[in-house]
Amino acid sequence: MDKHLEEKLKERAIQPTTMRLLVLQYLMEKSTTVSLKDIEKDFFRADKTTLYRTLKTFEKRNLIHSVDDGSGHTKYALCLEACDVVHHDSHCHFHCIQCKETFCLTSLNIPKIELPTKFTMTEANMVIKGICANCNA
């Protein structure tokens, strides 16, 4: 297994088990977000609970972030390198209504939102829906 993957996990204080290394490699190879169902389909011999716990561990340690794209399934993608103790992934996502893929638009930040007094934001999620470049081709 690639030493780079092990180091990436160790940087986030995640014990590098075989399954964690395989899931990390899988996520690094994806250009779109993936759902737990997608991962289960590609890791059909793996225990579903182990896959779920792996994603939750990655998310807790800011290695990945979750996306609610309105599809009814939480999607996951790798965080930017800047995410360490705190998530700095405040970018927009694009959900294609044709192919149903969701993309991270890391160059497009969520605008700063001024909330009324005594309102406290804990997270923001901006999903733009339309037709992606692949489907438009």
Mean pLDDT, range 34-40, rounded to an integer: 95
Q: Is 77 exposed, middle or buried (0-12, 13-18, 19+ CB in 10 A)?
A: buried
Max distance between CA atoms of the chain, in angstroms, equals: 51
What would the mean pLDDT of 27-47 be, rounded to a whole number?
A: 94
Residue 14, pLDDT above cutoff 70 = yes
Mean pLDDT of 81-88: 60
* Predicted local distance difference test score (pLDDT) of residue 81: 72
pTM summary value:
0.84
Which tokens sit at 50? Answer: 């182990």
- 7: pLDDT confidence band, cut at 50, 70 and 90? very high
* pLDDT category of residue 89 using cuts at 50, 70 and 90: low
Which domains does the chain carry? 3-136 (1.10.10.10)
The pLDDT of residue 128 is above 60 = yes
Beta strands in the chain (DSSP E): 34-35, 64-68, 74-78, 91-96, 102-109, 127-130
What's residue 1's pLDDT? 58
The CA distance from 12 to 115, in Å, is: 32
